[in-house]
Structure 1
């Protein structure tokens, strides 16, 4: 993938699977399926397999085919993909204003504990 190429945009299901694979680092389809079943017991192995194949084709996952069971890994770091998605969201939904995004998030989407952590961060008390 070219250095300046835009990051692929995962669907909600693909992002959910990435959220499962990022902490694992790498996973076979079986491992990903087992981890996903904790949240979604209805999810079939075939669905996870197909989703991972699609994600590999889109450049969201890389695949090591040297073993009998293919091992998949995220093609992009979690922070990198999140940053790209956030930039797009700010541009599309908030007319490019990071402040508007933060204000919208703070209106009803933050717990009291999270609000306290944000306050500490803004006052430089948090690394």
Structure 2
């Protein structure tokens, strides 16, 4: 059955994002059960465990042994994760200048001003 035909089914990668969001919200290393409690839709324990294992394999979360299980924590905060994704997209574009120009051109005015301020701040360091 297609995803459009099953409204309860998440899009690919959506549960990974929800699990990361739960870890960011919790703010400390936690076990699978705690993560599961913070994810909408009551996913199965084994589903959350699988997602955490995939995130660990991708280098997005750390895990440390705690008894018979693990405690998981995100490698980066939410802003760092978003920045890494943006950097990855930029690095895989064929024309960096065109990608950056398009990105800046499509920013709302207030974000463009913020970006200018941030760039000036780094230039002064």
TM-score bucket (shorter structure): 0.5 to 0.7
Alignment of 1:1-127 (within 5 A): 11-25=13-27, 26-37=29-40, 41-92=41-92, 95-96=95-96, 97-104=99-106, 106=108, 117-118=110-111, 121=114
Give structure 1 stretches of 5+ with no counterpart: 1-10, 107-114
**TM-score of the pair, normalised by structure 2:** 0.62
**TM-score of the pair, normalised by structure 1:** 0.61
Q: CA RMSD in A?
A: 2.9
Q: Which has the larger radius of gyration?
A: 2
Give structure 2 stretches of 5+ with no counterpart: 1-12, 118-125
- Alignment length (residue pairs): 103
Match of 2:123 in 1: none
Cα separation, 2, equivalents of 1:29 and 1:93? 36
Contact 1:94 1:101 (C-alpha < 8 Å) held by counterparts = no
1:16 CA displacement: 2.8
